[in-house]
Structure 1
Amino acid sequence: MTTLLHIDASARSGLSGHDPHGSHTRRLSARFVEQWRQHLPNTEMIYRDIGQHPPAPVSGAWIHAAFTPEQQREQWMRDVLRQSDELVNELIKADIIVAGVPMYNFGPPAQFKAYIDNIVRVGRTFGFDRNREGEPYWPLLADMGKRLIILSSRGDYGYGEGGRISGRNHVEPAIQTAFGYLGITQSHNIAVEYDEFADERLAASIRKAENEVDDLVNQLAKSWAL
């Protein structure tokens, strides 16, 4: 059975076009999931609203626990890592990861950075051996066929590849770098722009993004059904 992990990182709780001051990324991620259900209704869905319920940030105790071999961990270490273990288990189980991640000040929200810090786990999502010949780090989630879908939104415009301010975009590149480090290298990006302009350009950008979501779901669902 296919498993889809749906993550929302927006601090806004509603959907744009439906709720006052609603989120564009929640709108896109909800649309993706709705369309996916229509194609593959037997998909197992896992939902994480880290915008409203962010993971705890990494602490010194967390680092101590994560880098202690599992068989040597004390109970307090297991307690510290419990939430991280849950997030890692969900990621390992997922075939499709749909992440609604808005741009906040040129990067992902702090809530999503906390999520990334919790899933980049030595011995669980990446390997490390300082005595290993060649590269001491290696991904543990490679060759599993996982797909990452990043659905974003931006106040300005021109953040896409080749755009007028693409060099200021640290959302998709940062997320792709982190997930790629774990071995999840197949990804797709769709974004709404012009949010701060709130005019026809925003409306057109939303329509374009929604069409791209529909096309992407059609494309992926067909290959998944084979």
Structure 2
Amino acid sequence: MTNILHITASIRSSEESVSRGLSQTLVDGLAAKTGASVTTRDLARNDLPFIDADRFAANLTPYADRNDGQRELADIADTLIKELQAADTIVFGVPIYNFGVPATVKAWADLVARAGTTFKYTETGPVGLLEGKKVYIAAASGGTPIGGEMDFMSPWLKFFLGFIGLTDVEMVYADGIMGADGEEKIVAAREEAQRLAA
């Protein structure tokens, strides 16, 4: 392991956010164990653009064929994809917002899903190209049971990651943290994150 990509999405600060705290515990433990460098991508702070027709076309145009406007439009997607390609390990800190991923995570996904770069089409269907990387998802929810029928975040995120070739995924989470036993769940999740990183 030489490079960890840490992707966070909570709108809350590091002191307030459970998903940020859990993912930071994983990153700190993994970095201490392996000496890996860490690249941080804070989706809640970087104002990622939503995909539109022009940006979509620019992203699919080979670099050498892009005009100046297309290069500018595709620059953020190029950067996000390079971060994924350079990482050996990817750690997500993701809260559940209204039963799904934060909108910024969907914006990130739309930018990094690039045919011919992060996946390819074959006669038997699409195949992910970002293979051989380890992924951890550190998640939190106020009331939605993670893994339950109201949780559209974790199955969607796991499916999308698998679509681009990231199939080795482990998850640690604290759900229902607004309940009476919320603090106990956070402590248990933190201990699990420490165990995973050890």
1:87 Cα deviation (Å)? 0.4
In our comparison, the structure showing a higher alpha carbon Rg is 1
Match of 2:170? 188
Q: Pick from 128, 140, 149: which aligns with 1:139? A: 128
CA–CA distance in structure 2, aligned partners of residues 39 and 68 of structure 1:
40
Give percent identity, aligned residues only. Answer: 30
- CA drift of 1:38 comes to 2.3
CA distance in 2, matches of 1:124, 1:49: 23
Q: Does 1:215 align with 2:175?
A: no
Could you tell me which amino acid in structure 2 is paired with residue 154 of structure 1? S
Which of 43, 49, 52 aligns to 2:42? It is: 49
Distance in 2, matches of 1:60 and 1:185, equals: 29
Q: Which residue, out of 55, 73, 77, partners 2:70? A: 77
Distance 1:77 1:63 in 2: 10
Q: Does 1:3 align with 2:16?
A: no
AA at the equivalent of 2:146: Y
Residue of structure 2 aligned with 1:33, choices 12, 27, 31: 27
For the residue of structure 1 that corresponds to 2:155, the secondary structure is helix
Pick closer, same or farther for the CA change 1:115–1:157 going to 2, 3 Å. closer
- The answer (yes or no) to whether the contact 2:144–2:150 under 8 Å persists in 1 is no
- Checking the alignment, whether the CA contact within 8 Å between 1:126 and 1:137 is kept in structure 2 is yes
Distance 1:209 1:154 in 2: 12
SS of structure 1 residue aligned to 2:107? helix
- Give the aligned residue type for 1:137: P
- RMSD of aligned alpha carbons: 1.5
1:89 corresponds to which of 82, 85, 89? 82
Indicate how the Cα distance of structure 1 residues 157 and 72 shifts in structure 2: closer, same or farther if over 3 A, else same.
closer
C-alpha distance 136-74 of structure 1, shift in aligned 2 (>3 A): farther
Aligned residues: 198
**Structure 1 Cα separation of the partners of residues 127 and 32 of structure 2:** 37
Per-residue Cα deviation, 1:177-209 (whole angstroms, up to 9, x for no partner): 111011110001111122222x3x111101110
Q: Which has the higher contact order (CA 8 A, sep 6+)?
A: 2
| Match in the other structure for 1:110 | 103
Give how far 1:48 is off: 0.8
- Normalised by the length of structure 2, the TM-score is 0.94
Q: Which amino acid aligns with 1:150?
A: I
Matched, 1:169 2:159: no
Partner residue, 2:53: 60
- For 1:86 and 1:158, locate their aligned partners in 2 and report how far apart those are by CA, in whole Å: 34
Q: Which residue of 1 aligns with 2:146?
A: 159
Quick check: which one's strand share is greater?
2
Contact 1:66 1:122 in 2 (8 A): no
Partner of 1:223: none
Stretches of structure 1 that go unaligned for 5 or more consecutive residues are 16-21, 161-165, 219-226
Contact 1:13/1:52, CA 8 A, preserved across alignment:
no
Q: TM-score, normalised by structure 1?
A: 0.83
- Which of the residues 96, 115, 123 maps onto 1:122? 115
d(CA) in 2 for partners of 1:203 and 1:137? 42
